[in-house]
């Protein structure tokens, strides 16, 4: 059974776990975004500490790196970051009762910057690595 049907079926079996893993990373990015927004207004005494923004600076690069390890496609590697940004932006809209989770203040800006910039830098490194792999494969 080494015909083309068996080879394509085996190839699909190998790729399916990577797809499931990336989908799980995207779902985790949505969950993490909600938690980071909820923990954004934390106060230590009288000092406002944006714990959610600090967590975003750590978790988003980890999610992008984990997705990047499973694929050479940049769009797939960027999927957790895109889901995170979309979730954070959706949380700026008022809910049915008029309540807003992400207020318009400096902490929201810090959350967006610390959530996007480190992950985008890591994504840029993934783009460079993928370009090198494509160049080496064409030689």
pTM over cut 0.85: no
The predicted structure's pLDDT at residue 11: 43
CB 17 within 8 A of CB 71: no
Please count the structural domains in the chain. 1
Q: Is 66 in contact with 28 (CB distance < 8 Å)?
A: no
Per-residue pLDDT at 95 = 86
d(Cα 134, Cα 128) in Å, to the nearest integer?
Answer: 10
Helix (H) or strand (E) run with residue 38 in it:
helix 4-38
What was the pLDDT predicted at 9? 47
Distance between CA 12 and CA 52 in Å, rounded?
A: 38
The pLDDT of residue 121 = 95
The residues that bridge with 44 in the sheet, in sequence order, are: 47
State residue 13's pLDDT score.
42
What is the per-residue pLDDT for 39? 94
Q: What is the pLDDT along the chain (139 residues), one digit of tens a residue?
A: 555 555 444 444 446 688 899 999 999 999 999 999 999 999 888 998 999 999 999 999 999 999 998 888 889 999 999 999 999 999 999 988 888 888 889 999 999 999 999 999 999 998 888 888 888 888 7
Reported for 89-93, long-range contacts at CB under 8 A and 24+ positions apart, including other chains, are 91/33, 91/34, 91/37
Residue ranges making up the domain that contains 122: 4-138
């Amino acid at each position: 059974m080494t015909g083309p049907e068996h080879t394509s079926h085996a190839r699909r079996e190998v790729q399916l776990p990577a797809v499931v893993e990336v989908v799980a990373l995207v779902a985790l990015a949505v969950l993490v975004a909600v938690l980071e927004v909820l923990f954004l207004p934390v106060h230590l005494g009288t000092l406002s500490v944006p714990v959610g923004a600090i967590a975003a600076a750590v978790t988003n690069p980890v999610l992008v790196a984990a997705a990047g390890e499973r694929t050479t496609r940049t769009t797939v590697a960027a999927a957790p970051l895109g889901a995170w940004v979309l979730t954070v932006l959706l949380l700026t809209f008022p809910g049915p009762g008029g309540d807003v989770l992400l207020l318009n203040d400096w902490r929201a800006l810090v959350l967006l910057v610390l959530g996007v910039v480190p992950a985008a830098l890591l994504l840029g490194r993934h783009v460079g690595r993928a370009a090198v792999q494509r160049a080496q494969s064409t030689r």
